[in-house]
Structure 1
Amino acid sequence: MLSEEQFRCSICLDIFNNPVSIPCGHNFCMGCIKRFWDTRHKSECPLCKEAFRKRPELRINIGLRDITEHFKRSIIGQPPYKPAPPKRSMLRQPSMSDVPCDVCQGTIVTAVKSCFICQESYCETHLTPHLRDTVLTKHRLTDPPTFITSHLCISHNKVLDMFCKTEQIPICMKCRVKDHRHHEIVPIEKESMLVRTKLKEADADFQHMVNTRMKKLEEVIASVESRKMNEEQALQTSIQVANMVSGIIEKNQASLIQEIQQKQEASEGIEKELIKELREEINELQRRRIELQHLENSGDPLHLLQSFPSLSSPLSTRAWSKVRVNSNSYIGTVRRAFSKLVDVCHTLEKKLSAEEMRKASQYAVDVTLDPVTASGWLCLSPDRKQVSLSLQQKKPSPPDDPRRFDSCVSVLGKESFTSGRHYWVVQVGV
């Protein structure tokens, strides 16, 4: 069953009057499509926007005209179709921010939507095809002010449908004629396709950089965790070593104090005994001296002869001239105690070094020297594990390898490391 929509012109929205078919296959009133093309700088379909190199020659589609006339006669007596009148707001005096409909002829009607594909703005009436046609409904619509500011030339109010590669800016047809006459101009669609290709390449580059940085982020996070674990182990080890050294120092200190106290007690005992003996002998000598003085003053010869031998007999004492009191008995005691402490610390240091070597050995790698990088003054062993300085510079092979050291006597390892922990030992001899 035929519907009235099938015989309605999408420009005037009325039933076809002298319908014509243009090369893309769409149908319009002859007068409508002529007036539409008269207002455009190029001939294109108002619906699908297919552009034609030259303006098509219009001929009435007789078959469609006959069917249209038959349809008109079939609806005689029915109320004539009238498109919904525009809202009052659309017929108000246009303001500076209003965008007019590009299809309306005569009366200026404010557009409600603009089409990015068709590059035109439409009022509510002429927007209908974009809301019903299966092809036009896929076009992206936007608000007219947004469309005007982004897709129309601010100088000429024309569509920015070209791109100046010389100045890298979008331009309209008038811009091309006036200001860009001798510049390299391409259709904006062609340039956009090129930019889309570059966009995909940039996206791929960004994705590669993201992947690279994600991998590096994982390495950094792993390194941070490893560092924290190593710091914790080092902290615990340092505390243990400090406590051990502190214990050794306290033990040596106690031993040193005990040794000094024992020597002090022994010395004090000897000194007290000597002092006691000396005082007793002094007292005895003082007593004899007094008795001798009394005997000297005595007038009795017999008493003198009888008493003198006992008073003048020698005392049974030490050989005091040979007795020495050693006041330097503590010399070397502190030094010897400190030497013991140093020996203990050296032993502890050897144990710590052995433990560090044991832990480092798990990261041991086998490094092989790369002869390609070796300077001409160096000689490598057949297993490439040893290198020695030559007395004469040899001719390198190949001679011009950019990896070879020329200005300095050096050689690189065959293996390369970019991350992780690695350990190897180098023995240096003359």
Structure 2
Amino acid sequence: MASCSSLLSEDQFLCAICLEVFNDPVSTPCGHNFCLACISFYWENAAVCQCPICKTTFVRKPDLKVNTFISGLAAQLMSLQVVEASVRISDLHRAKPGCRILCDVCTDSMNEAVKSCLECLTSYCDTHLEPHQRVAGLKRHTLVEPLENLEERICKKHNRLLVMFCKTDDLVLCDLCVKLHHLTHDAVPVERAYRERKDSLGRTEAKVLQMIQNRLQKVSEIKESVKQREEDERDVWVSTVEDLTDLVSDIQESQAEIIRVIEEKQKAAREQADDFIADIESEMEELQMTNTKLRDLMDMEDHLCLLKVSPSQSRLPQTRDWSTVSVNSRLSVEHMRTSISQSVSQLRNTLDEMNAEIKKYSYDTQMSNVEALMAAQQHEVDFRLDSSTAHPLLVLSGGGKRVSYGTMIQRLPNNPNIFTEHLAVLGERGYNSEFYFQVCVGQKTEWCLGVATESIQRRGVLRRRDCGLWAIWFIPDKFETFDSPNVPVHWGKVETVGVFVDYDGGQVSFYDVATATLIYSFTECVFTERLYPYLNPCDNEYGNNSDPLILLPVGHTV
């Protein structure tokens, strides 16, 4: 087996504090990784909260969450190391040319065995083999060349060597088992099956290592992308704050200037009014004096005296025409009010446009879902449902595009390819690359939908985990995954579900097509077989559920 260290180094997954492989790894804001317990204990006993590696100091203790991606990689590394160790141990115990297999009977001097008995399940040296050559009953026993781990190599039913492997049932058999019970099956010699299995494991290991390498590369790309995005957004942040700060300063200056101008106008108006009032009061005094003189003249009864008075004494004093004088220039005030109001309105419109752009940017995740769904739909596949896999109670349309739950048996229940417990059917075609399909679920009260391997168990109840099925299960108003019941992953109802498989990326995603909402994604999956669409319309447990599941092409409606 190729060493996993060819692509992954254990040093990359060691905590800098405990020097062990990560256990619940977390990442600090400065980008370094530690075990959650280690860094928590380190900060509890430290005077300041800082990174043990780069000494970056944090004003507040970061709220750390377990990094599931690094945790998964560490688990895969440990798994590969276990596999390598197991292979090395089995290699050490396998009988090779020149290896000594000792007699099972010898107690004092451990002599080398010369034969193994398939009936006694014991290996004998020359001395202890003598009874098998002399005693009549023992002479009938089958003696073979010395074998290691003899009991594990013998068929329990026929006491014959396990020399054949049945690919159909995945069983190691003796030649008699093959003749009696597996004659029509695909049975090959153990040596050939061993080589094929080793080749298959090697290919799987290479694929796993390549997937790990791809993910490491993707992690690097994501980190670089996040770093670049943070730098770009920091530039936007700084420039926006500067621009808005300058704008606020300009607005404040304009506000102060408006107040200054108004106060100056008010002061000038008051001064002008005071001057007018002073002039008017002065004229009023003169008029008052003139009025007094006129009354005195009017009170004269002597005709001659009144006539002798100079006419100039009865004339009105020279005064100003005050009817045209005003200090209230409302026209200019209204003009200023209108102008300022229009400017403020334009500024508000500009602010509204800016806030709309900010809100649009904050909805970037939703836009990303729309783009992701549109990209997934580019990989749409066309297929029919495979009636030879359908549960006996399922009703399929003639075109193989619809499936619903019925109450009458539709096909023979002894077909080895059909599902016997789950009300399921597979698509006719399997895929080992990216593919997408849509299913209309309408108003159904329960359904299960996803993808499955060709080798998925058809008979009996599926175990929840690692059964070769990646599916979501809808029951009234909530979604669960098939492998984690009673754990809601999404709420609400949908009418059309889009299923996208990123085979090489190890991901299965489910979308609400109408709203482009991501319902759920299975991530970090390892696919080694072709994947087939899996549809399960379910029964009537939650009310009338007779509506069909319908394969729906992109852009079409029911």
TM-score by length of 1: 0.45
Q: Which has the larger radius of gyration?
A: 1
Identify which of structures 1 and 2 has the higher relative contact order when contacts are C-alpha pairs closer than 8 Å and 6+ apart: 2
TM-score by length of 2: 0.35
Structure ranking higher in helix proportion: 1
